Amino acid sequence: MQQIQIIAVGKLKEAYLVQGIAEYVKRLGPYAKVQIVEVPDERAPDSMSAAEEALVRQREGERILAQIKGDAYVVALALDGMPLTSDELARHVEGLATYGRSHVAFVIGGSLGLAPAVLARAELKLAFGRMTLPHQLMRLVLVEQVYRVFKIIRGEPYHK
């Protein structure tokens, strides 16, 4: 059984997002072991210099990297990442399992994005399009897509 880890910066507070994510994690139960790890976001004022923003990303990045297991295949969600269809992502995840990479860690950064060290650790940078989405909402979108991936891999129907 594949292990899926979702590492995200910040704590979810919106009940509708928490409930939606919990529903998809429950649905994923027969397909994969799913772990969602929230790392604290760095407190940051609304107006920061580029150096201050870099420091925030660095500190959040250190927290993210501390949660990634050594054998994990790391997928960083990034605006400049590779856009894949659900079918393409399914084939990619299926290929990882075929070649013994059963632990996949998806990483969602905070409001300022991911630290260069996290992006360097990633084996795949994945984009969900060119639009910017709130990182909290991205968790729900990601877990739904992970569920869809496993339905595709198993050849099971899924509503469109």
Give the SS3 label for residue 118.
Answer: helix
Annotated binding-site residue? 113: no
Annotated binding-site residue? 114: no
Annotated binding-site residue? 133: yes
Give the SS3 label for residue 115.
Answer: coil
**Sequence-ordered list of residues with C-beta below 8 angstroms from that of 66, at least 6 positions apart, any chain:** 39
Tokens 């990882």 identify what position?
A: 96
Q: If we measure between CA atoms, which residue out of 152, 2, 10, 133 comes closest to residue 78?
A: 133
Give the SS3 label for residue 82.
Answer: strand
Give the DSSP H/E element, type plus range, for residue 108: strand 103-108
Annotated binding-site residue? 132: yes
Annotated binding-site residue? 128: yes
Binding-site residues, in ranges, read 77, 109, 128-133
Binding-site residues for S-adenosyl-L-methionine, in ranges, read 77, 109, 128-133
